Amino acid sequence: MTILLRDVSKTFRRARSKETIEALRSVSLTVDVNCFVSLVGPSGCGKTTLLRMLNGLIAPDSGEILVGGAPPAPGPHMGFVFQSFRLMPWRTVRSNVCFPLELSGVSRAECEASANRYLEMVGLTRFAHSFPNELSGGMKQRVALARALVGEPEYLLMDEPFAALDAQTREFMQLELLRISARRKGVVMFVTHSVDEAVFLSDRIVLMSPRPGRVAEVLDVSLPHPRWDYDVHIRPEFVEMRHYLWGRIKDMVAADPESEFYGRERD
């Protein structure tokens, strides 16, 4: 289940202006099995682009990507959780969770049994017959998470899944994700702008440079598991890593000529 990226680059061309945007340049990275990896870095550094290439939604211009030894491709082995919930409003909660299994030809009885299991896992059993417009934002994201997990994918790709939630709900969802990750095998690739969130959740953190995105540094997080049993945020290791990462990102942004904050550190 290892993920391998070797010298991966990607450039986009804007439709109207024909201007080219170099999103990623020579990205190399190896992600081992049963690892929770967060991608952090300045805005626009290609984190989401990288995630979409891992899912096979877009192809690199050069370099090589292997997911479990094969080129990336969408399928039941891949779960994707977006920042927006992307639930189908005409379907019930359980029916939304069932949808990926239906696409794979799984029988209705099996779909519902699997959906019920994952709804129980995210604490939404009694809302199985509700519709998305009857749920809070945090509950909708739990449904999206259950839908991504129902096919028991080996790879779970998450693109800022908690960014739209209020601070309290976001912390509860982080705890929920940690508990779920502890019960399943596989790789989680998690994009976030929150340094605190990355340190709290991750086994490893990949720090990306400003566009064109490159791997600036890979850090191992030494905080012990399970992390819901103690206050991680007051541990010296947490404080030190959070301070280090934020300092690196701040320095990158201040030194980036394309940033609106360019040169701010020298003022």
Cross-strand partners of 103: none
Residue 174, pLDDT above cutoff 80: yes
- pLDDT at residue 230, as a whole number: 86
What's the average model confidence in pLDDT over 6-18? 86
Helix (H, G, I), strand (E, B) or coil at 162: coil
In terms of pLDDT, which residue wins out, 253 or 84? 253
Beta strands in the chain (DSSP E): 3-13, 20-31, 36-40, 62-67, 78-81, 155-159, 187-191, 204-208, 215-220
Q: Which two tokens stand for residue 120?
A: 């129980």
Residue 10 has pLDDT above 90, yes or no: yes
Give yes or no for residue 96 having a pLDDT over 60: yes
- The pLDDT value recorded for residue 262 is 60
Q: Is the pLDDT of residue 206 over 60?
A: yes
Question: Residue 25: what pLDDT?
Answer: 95
Tens-place pLDDT, residues 111-161: 999 999 889 888 899 999 999 999 998 899 889 989 988 888 899 999 998
Phi, psi of 253 (to 5 degrees): -65, -40
Three-class SS state of 28: strand
pLDDT bucket at 255, cuts 50 / 70 / 90:
confident
pTM: 0.89
pLDDT band at residue 267 under the 50/70/90 scheme:
very low
Q: Please determine, for residue 105, whether its predicted confidence score (pLDDT) is greater than 60.
A: yes
Sign of the alpha-carbon torsion through 180, 184, 190, 194: positive
The percentage of residues in the chain with a pLDDT greater than 70, rounded to a whole number, is: 95
pLDDT at 248: 94
Q: Using the predicted structure, report yes or no on whether residue 249 has a pLDDT greater than 60.
A: yes
Mean pLDDT over 237-252 rounds to 94
- Set out the domains of the chain in order of their start, with CATH numbers: 3-77+157-164+187-266 (3.40.50.300)
| pLDDT score, position 37 | 96
Residue 100 pLDDT > 90, yes or no? no
What phi, psi does 22 have (nearest 5°)? -85, 105
Q: What is the pLDDT of residue 259?
A: 63
CB 223 within 8 A of CB 199: yes
Looking at every residue in the chain, the average pLDDT score rounds to 89
Q: Tens digit of pLDDT for each residue in 27-59?
A: 999 999 889 999 999 988 999 999 999 999 899
Q: What is the pLDDT of residue 265?
A: 53
